[in-house]
Chain A
Amino acid sequence: MIDARSLTRDFVVSRSQTVHAVRGISLRIEPGELVALLGPNGAGKTTTMRMLTTLIAPTSGTATVAGHDVVREPGKVRRHIGYVGQGNGAGHTQRARDELRTQGAIYGLDRRAARRRADDLLDGLDLADLADRKVSALSGGQRRRLDVAMGLVHAPSLLFLDEPSTGLDPQNRANLWEHILRMRAEAAMTVVLTTHYLDEADSMAERVVIVDHGEIIADDSAAALKAKLAGDRIVVTVAGDDARPLARLVDRLPGARDLVCAGSRVEAHVADGPAALPELLRAAIEADVRVGTAQAHQPTLDDVFLTLTGRSLREAEQETPTAQDSPQDSQTRKDVP
């Protein structure tokens, strides 16, 4: 569905300064996949997506999307892809239903088919009661659902979502995702999204591509990334002030590594945190070591990012010079300086 090879994109900010937003991204996405591009603001996610959707041309490299080259045949790519950008696709002075019909006409539906398709989508995305409302009068969540509806008018086989749930409250996010996943299941759609929400990438995507400084630094399922790159961690303390006897027990746990013993505290990576704790406690009782506290931490994608880059995703957001750091402002082009 997507075959990108060594894509790069530079932005010339001034005569002396060029920003290398994307520095060589190669990515293959098969039909039916649900892939999240995850990374801090300014990592190059949106720039990559804008190249794949023909909005901007790559500085170098090639990409085939839905069977067509993005530079040589942008028109054909556009015909086959759906796209929901960071902003609102519907014009604020337009009415919801009209915008859907216009999209239908653009993709070649006749008047009647466009009307029927608009009505189906309005029903499907719970917008039927708002069909004749002006877009400016819709709430953020309603507008976002309309954006998704507009991206689906021509039933594309490939849908791009650029930060689909930025600025939505948790309830609206969940609601939006429910719709997206249902549409995907019904139409066997390939979905590619960018996000800087860890939990969104973790829970929704079947494959997570982590992007940092314009490059892909990891690419796998969330579970595999976490197991491979972060792993479960346990933190235990002893009642006294010498944790060394406990550390010896921890060291015998399956998959134990990176053990740190400091004062009364022992910290280590293990293969399976929740299973390791009871085993450790049993061993501690047998060895007459008194355990004070015990915790098992299961890794998040943030731990994965930390392992890969040495900084957490949140720190990365703050250091980015171009980051606007306002998730509410969905109109900010986050990857373009």
Chain B
Amino acid sequence: MTTIGATAPSPTPVAARTRTGPLGLLRDVGIVLTRELRPLRHDPFSVVFGMVQPLVFLGLFGPLLVGSLGGQAGTAFGAGGVWQWFVPAILVMTALFGTSATGANLLFEFQTGAHERMLVTPLSRPSLLVGRALKEMVPLAGQAVIIVLVMIPFGFRLYPVGALLGLALLAVFGVGLGALSYSLAIAVRKQDWMFWVVQQTLIFPLMLLSGMLLPLETGPGWMRVASQVNPLAYLVDAERALFAGEIGSMTVLWGWVAALVTAAVGLTVGVRAMARSAD
């Protein structure tokens, strides 16, 4: 049996951990991010589990759209046809369903004790949130790439630069929504069933009022008004523009504003919540 004490670098670890300030924070974020990505690396297939809902909509709702509204291509759906209109929205849906559920992972770590373990380490509190939120970009990007690749044979036209920018936009939004999901998890940690109640209650109105599934132009006026305060609506419009190869329009700009505001609000709220998560 190894003698632990003898090999223990007793004073070294403590002394080595001297970096504080922004560099220390960056290092801590890196540690948390790496840890969060590990299960994904060991089990890359798990990316697919997070996209069941969007795939259902793509496979079972998409054809209905094509069948009932396909004739209108060139009007409400723009020049590219229904898929060109629907696929970018499905990408946003992937972000919506996937990252809004990620707080459940943190809730689980609250219950098992793994989060408490992190709280007694010298890791800075903000890094515990930021590292987790940043991780959301990875599965999200993977899911988006899968969906795009699957849809190309069905006539989905790819504009590479726009698509890459579209993924980046989606990633920024995913960080924000992920951070909000973690905030929710922290807020309801003592009544964890509340997490799914709130999450489910919020995502469906957000989804329907974003024009993701059907164009809002055909809806009543109040819905269009409501969609104007829904950041998701701006994001969906921007993704549609980007995936149509339109890079610098006002629509795209508003999409970036929506994503960046979501990220800023999410991270601020999340970091504050994390600081109180031990109580």
Contact = CB atoms under 8 A, between A and B. Distances in A.
Contacts of B105: 93
Given A102-B31, A123-B2, A187-B4, A88 B114 contact: yes
A105 B38 CA distance: 14
Interface residues of A, number: 55
B122 interface: yes
A299 interface: no
A200 interface: no
A124 B2 contact: yes
A116 B12 CA distance: 14
A107 B13 contact: yes
B39 A85 contact: no
B172 to A, nearest CB: 26
Contact of A109 (B1, B16, B121): B16
A225 B17 CA distance: 42
Contacts of B15: 108
Given A56-B278, A89-B114, A98-B38, A152 B4 contact: yes
Interface string B132-147: 0000000000000000
Interface stretch (A75-83, A214-222, A267-275, A310-318): A75-83
B2 A55 contact: no
A331 interface: yes
B191 interface: no
A41 interface: no
Interface residues of B, number: 40
B65 interface: no
B13 A104 contact: yes
A56 B279 contact: yes
B119 interface: yes
B26 to A, nearest CB: 13
A150 interface: yes
Given A86-B113, A88-B112, A92-B108, A186 B3 contact: yes
Interface in A252-286: none
A183 B42 CA distance: 32
Contact of A331 (B4, B16, B113, B121): B113
Given A92-B112, A183-B4, A85 B122 contact: no
A265 to B, nearest CB: 50
A150 B114 CA distance: 11
A79 B122 contact: yes
Contact of A124 (B4, B34, B121, B122): B4
Given A88-B112, A102-B35, A155 B120 contact: no
A103 interface: yes
Contacts of A55: 116, 119-120, 278
A295 interface: no
Interface in A173-191: 182-183, 185-188
Interface in A92-116: 92-95, 98-99, 102-110, 113, 116
B248 interface: no
B122 A95 contact: no
A120 interface: yes
Interface in A37-96: 50, 53-56, 75, 78-81, 83, 85-95
Interface of B: 1-10, 12-18, 28, 31, 34-35, 38-39, 42, 105, 108-109, 111-114, 116-117, 119-123, 278-279
Given A85-B117, A91-B112, A155-B13, 4 more contacts: A79-B122, A93-B105, A98-B38, A188-B5
Query: 3 tightest CB-CB pairs across the interface, nearest first?
Result: A87-B113, A186-B5, A108-B17
5 contacts: A79-B14, A106-B28, A108-B14, A108-B16, A147-B117
